[in-house]
Amino acid sequence: MSKKISLLLARGGVAVGAVAASASSFAAGLDVTAATTAITASETPIQNVGMAVFAVLVLVATVKWLRRVL
């Protein structure tokens, strides 16, 4: 039983090593600067939308609170 397990581990180790080596060679040629620039450029509009949604939620909570008080 242990011979079978050691044989499977040995074969699996070779396969994992080959997959890792091929994946690193494909990743070396990948240029992500355009995606990074696009994400950075869209940061400000996303923050503006988030602040607008937060302001609406605060406004709704304030109106509910004022209606309850009056």
Distance (Å, rounded) from C-alpha 50 to C-alpha 65? 23
CA distance readout (Å), 1 to 5, 9, 47, 52: 6, 13, 59, 64
Domain count, the chain: 2
Q: Is residue 35 part of a domain?
A: no
Say what the pLDDT of residue 32 is: 85
Closest of 27, 7, 31 to residue 19, by C-alpha: 27
Q: Is residue 37 part of a domain?
A: no
Closest of 10, 51, 56 to residue 2, by C-alpha: 10
**Per-residue pLDDT tens digits of the chain, which is 70 residues long:** 567 766 666 666 555 555 555 555 566 678 888 888 888 888 888 899 999 999 999 999 999 999 999 8
Q: Which spans in 1-70 are helix H?
A: 2-28, 33-41, 43-69
- Report yes or no on whether pTM surpasses 0.75: no
Q: Is residue 3 part of a domain?
A: yes
